[in-house]
Amino acid sequence: MQHFDIAIIGAGAAGMMCAAVAGQRGKKVVLIDHAEAIGEKIRISGGGRCNFTNTGAGPANFLSENPHFCRSALARYTPRDFLGLLKQYRIAYHEKHRGQLFCDDSAEQIIAMLKDECATGRVAWRTGTRVAKVRHEGGAYVLETTDGEERNATLRAPKLVIATGGLSIPKIGATDFGYRIAKQFGIKLTETRPALVPLTFQSEAWMPFAALSGLSVEVEIETQGPFGRGRFLEDLLFTHRGLSGPAVLQISSYWQAGGALRLNLMPDADTAAWTAQKAGQRGGAASLLAPALPKRLAEAWIEREMAAPERARPVADLPDKTLKRLAESLTQWRITPNGTEGYRKAEVTAGGVDTRELSSQSMEAVKAPGLHFIGEVVDVTGWLGGYNFQWAWASAVACAGAL
């Protein structure tokens, strides 16, 4: 039997941050992960440069069935606090887009920094170690563990932190372990689903657009779902199976099955001016769209929306109602996905441990004293752009402070 003050399961962003802070405050901490290589989500984030936070992160950028839960943690550990840590390690970074901050060099710098912080806190590591059983006895949590060589060890700690993440990207080790532990101790879960994920469409309905795969355009996209109205101005990417890109990843968190999306493919264009300016334009309708849309998309759209005789006529000879109909089709395109690319392509998992079962100050389960949940395993889901990492840091620090 190995004794610790705190056992943390999951050596990702939240787990390492929590271990580092608790260890540096004098606690004897063990950090356990079933993978040998830790921090994989950090490593692949932001194309290998890790979009580690967003300068504008606040409660409005997060979805949850209990939307006020995240306020406390986010207020107590802000993006500025994390940047202060980066400054200590002289990690250079830059803002890429709308407050999204990335490492100048590599995501490996963030992982190395967290490992160093854990080393400063004298954290004990148990990587490549599977937790077979968890039980609560004698005022402590007892963990039966097995490593890759089938060597067994029993760990005991009065405090247990679950930082095992969600179901997204199973190829890097995602499992439902955290949800199983919650159920074991009678803690409710909210329904989980893939979030920040590409959307798919029925193959026949999507056939006219499949040839546009790889094409990107800025759009305004919106939908109405269980978390209210989501609306974003971002880049859209056409794929063989459907839509992706930042616009769709953002809206996917708000979308519910059966719901329609509304897209404006030309958010900056003054379509009302088309009719007034059509006189003297001898080019076809595609030339009218050329300043606002990529050529391939303009041509495909004209072919989709206009009959062959209309396509052959100069813009100046087209009826006003034809141009109005074309403008409406571009600015009010309604389309209904039939699903998503699932957890294999989802950046995060929405839903999870019901926050009404946790303390917003400490992340501790009300029904199971000493048991805490942090990071993605909790029903708090951020927008695309560094928000989910900020929740990982903030929830971890809130938990560590209480521990």
- Edge-to-edge strands, sheet with 159-162: 124-127, 29-33, 6-9, 159-162, 371-373
- State which CATH number among 3.40.50.2300, 3.50.50.60, 3.40.50.150, 3.40.640.10 fits the domain covering 2-193+348-402: 3.50.50.60
Rounded Cα distance between 224 and 168, Å, is: 24
Strand bridging mode 159-162 / 371-373: parallel
pLDDT at 215: 96
Taking only the tens place, the pLDDT of each residue in 124-183 is: 999 999 999 999 999 999 999 998 777 899 999 999 999 999 999 999 999 999 999 999
- Edge-to-edge strands, sheet with 228-238: 333-335, 261-264, 216-225, 228-238, 242-244, 199-200, 339-340
Beta bridge partners of 6: 29, 159
Taking only the tens place, the pLDDT of each residue in 186-224 is: 999 999 999 999 999 999 889 989 999 999 999 999 999
CB of 168 closer than 8 Å to CB of 15: no
Tokens representing 81?
């606090």
Distances (CA, A) of 319 to 156, 271, 274, 287: 79, 15, 12, 16
φ, ψ (nearest 5 deg) of residue 161: -115, 130
Q: Three-state DSSP class for 127?
A: strand
Q: Three-state DSSP class for 163?
A: coil
Neighbour-count burial of 115, counting CB atoms closer than 10 A to its CB (0-12 exposed, 13-18 middle, 19+ buried): middle
Q: What residues of the chain score a pLDDT lower than 50?
A: none
- DSSP result, 137-150: ETTEEEEEEEETT-
Rounded Cα distance between 225 and 216, Å, is: 25
Rounded Cα distance between 327 and 272, Å, is: 8
The CATH architecture one would assign to domain 199-340 is Beta Barrel (2.40)
pLDDT at 279: 64
User: For the chain, what are the domain ranges?
Assistant: 2-193+348-402, 199-340
CB of 82 closer than 8 Å to CB of 92: no
Question: Which residues have CB under 8 Å from 84's CB, separation 6+?
Answer: none
Rounded Cα distance between 228 and 224, Å, is: 6
